[in-house]
Structure 1
């Protein structure tokens, strides 16, 4: 089995999580890194000491031994970087979410979607968290077909990032794009239908109000609700609170249908769990049939090595395992550019709805 060589563009907090997980894959290595921040570049070398640090994207793309690329740069750079890669050397690509940050970029993304000649996998890690994967696998049988879906995330505030780029909507696309495109992707996946209307209410209630960067106060929201209606008549709701880090579970996903209910309960990163409370919670899936009634709780533990390699319940490792197989076999990604684009379009619609107080119709998009 030949070694797969990654080139990495962007190695801040999430990029370094990718490095730790790539290091766990057999016959796979990080060959080169482009990270313009010197401190983050040195931290990256501590994780991937054999990687070559290069001074530009062009220099990275010129390395002949590369087999694939990972883009983990700040959100607002994704489309520009994608276009540069497409022009210069369109290798198989794993690109972090969100794919883009504004409606003005949609046409550019669609052109890339139509013309990029190699596989592109959008990094929707939440699909691959073991408890969420189990819910996805069993939802149809447990519910008899989902009619209602609720996703609740009660978590810690946005973490500091290089240059504080994630404090401002112009860089992130807004909280419903940056943080929540994962959840809109899960909605489409579970409902097996396309969204037609989005209604949202959100705001900046608690976090970052006393922070100032170059004379500016952050404008990212920290709480909100989103309701989505789908073509097939089903409905989904997102509840987000980013000042609820004292919660036992960070994500709670509930799917309901005529046969019953299935829930996934996912704890946050173990490094944030208070030591005085002992071991961090184990993820769970709970199946509650209507007939005969009675919930069944199933623990879904995550492999300790995968858990220790990042903040996403092992999902980054499982995602890379599948992506590397696509690279080796010229396969088809499970999370396509279309998936990534539509998740962002839903997030942008939620941002617009919460800003205007109006329902956003997606059927005209």
Structure 2
């Protein structure tokens, strides 16, 4: 599904096109071909299809790679692709285990091309604007951050791989790495401890695959303490698709509060004194919205990825960012299952 979003967004960029698609599953390749046929200006005669990424690499038909395969396949794919000189955009989560994420982070240290991790939620225009205002001092010293995502259940995927922790890394890695990345990015600080409560309350409980029942969590709370003293919390519910807004983020500083809601796209600034809330609406181009389901974030991420490739600038979302988002998610999962605080140093 994310691969289709990437394909559509590539054709919104200047001077970019898809030249190859690789997937071991034929139905996924057919889906990509159908997506390409729906795009004005896409030249299907220039696109090659592969079922093995090593064959695609050997063919030499691409200038950059976007890796959007199932989470648990990232490590093996990256061990091959990092032997090339091709820029990478790797979908989140970077890997499903801390060991694998640390391995990739270490490999990237000696990898010259751009290596970018697809933690695109920081690129949602209303969220990006809220962050811009926060970093400009609109709330004063940042003290408390709250992120709520109330949404629909996990969608069906090929082979139902996303129903099991061993494939995804767990919901708080697979889904919530975005939010742990936002916490670090907004607060500009590093976590020291995580505490969580969560479980599987509603979703997928009646499903069974090859005699196995899904074990992914569908809800939970996570609280994170940061080095500088700021606190952040995440409230996730994946059986709340009736919510008016899917994401709500509030940031409180010592002088004011900022709040943003998605997809509403309204930022509210609430000073402590005088009490005088003001509102700012962030508009997103309809073509950008239509190209994906993440409120424009994929497009703006691609713009910066392309700029980094063309101008030789460092990636703005690094392997370190990817590893930290996985590590925080794993800490949350451990806390939920073991019912205790988890120090980040335990997972170093």
TM-score by length of 2: 0.95
**What is the DSSP-based 3-state SS (H/G/I as helix, E as strand, rest coil) of the residue aligned with 1:252?**
strand
**CA apart distance, 1:104:** 3.3
**CA apart distance, 1:63:** 3.0
CA distance in 2, matches of 1:191, 1:363: 19
**What is the DSSP-based 3-state SS (H/G/I as helix, E as strand, rest coil) of the residue aligned with 2:59?**
coil
Deviations 1:218-241 (Å, cap 9, x if unpaired)?
000000000000000110000000
Q: Would you say the 8 A contact 1:67–1:327 is kept in 2?
A: no
Residue 323 of structure 2 aligns with which residue? Answer: 341
Q: Would you say the 8 A contact 1:198–1:361 is kept in 2?
A: yes
Count of paired positions:
338
**What is the DSSP-based 3-state SS (H/G/I as helix, E as strand, rest coil) of the residue aligned with 2:280?**
strand
CA distance in 1, matches of 2:100, 2:61: 31
Q: Would you say the 8 A contact 2:193–2:226 is kept in 1?
A: yes
Residue 310 of structure 2 aligns with which residue? Answer: 328
Residue 301 of structure 2 aligns with which residue? Answer: 319
Deviations 1:3-52 (Å, cap 9, x if unpaired)?
xxxxxxxxxx1101100110111210110110111111111112233411
Deviations 1:276-312 (Å, cap 9, x if unpaired)?
xxxxxx3111110111112112211211000011100
Q: Would you say the 8 A contact 1:148–1:235 is kept in 2?
A: yes
Residue 103 of structure 1 aligns with which residue? Answer: 98
**CA apart distance, 1:65:** 4.1
**What is the DSSP-based 3-state SS (H/G/I as helix, E as strand, rest coil) of the residue aligned with 2:129?**
helix
Q: Would you say the 8 A contact 2:94–2:101 is kept in 1?
A: no
Residue 59 of structure 1 aligns with which residue? Answer: 55
Q: What does residue range 202-241 of structure 1 map to in structure 2 within 5 Å?
A: 202-241=198-237
CA distance in 2, matches of 1:64, 1:110: 25
**CA apart distance, 1:90:** 3.3
CA distance in 2, matches of 1:313, 1:300: 11
**CA apart distance, 1:325:** 1.1
Residue 273 of structure 1 aligns with which residue? Answer: none
Please state if 1:82 is matched with 2:70: no
Residue 135 of structure 1 aligns with which residue? Answer: 130
Q: What does residue range 46-195 of structure 1 map to in structure 2 within 5 Å?
A: 46-48=34-36, 49=44, 50-87=46-83, 89-140=84-135, 141-195=137-191
Q: Would you say the 8 A contact 2:98–2:323 is kept in 1?
A: no
CA distance in 1, matches of 2:102, 2:122: 26
TM-score by length of 1: 0.90
**What is the DSSP-based 3-state SS (H/G/I as helix, E as strand, rest coil) of the residue aligned with 2:292?**
coil
Gapped regions of structure 2 (runs ≥ 5): 37-43
CA distance in 2, matches of 1:200, 1:127: 23
Residue 11 of structure 2 aligns with which residue? Answer: 23
Q: Would you say the 8 A contact 1:167–1:219 is kept in 2?
A: yes
Deviations 1:297-356 (Å, cap 9, x if unpaired)?
221121100001110001111111111111112221110111111011000000111010
| Alpha-carbon spacing, 1:182–1:107, altered in 2? closer, same or farther (3 Å) | closer
Q: Would you say the 8 A contact 2:63–2:87 is kept in 1?
A: yes
Q: Would you say the 8 A contact 1:113–1:338 is kept in 2?
A: no
**What is the DSSP-based 3-state SS (H/G/I as helix, E as strand, rest coil) of the residue aligned with 1:28?**
coil
Gapped regions of structure 1 (runs ≥ 5): 1-12, 268-281
CA distance in 2, matches of 1:251, 1:297: 17
CA distance in 2, matches of 1:38, 1:118: 30
Please state if 1:299 is matched with 2:281: yes
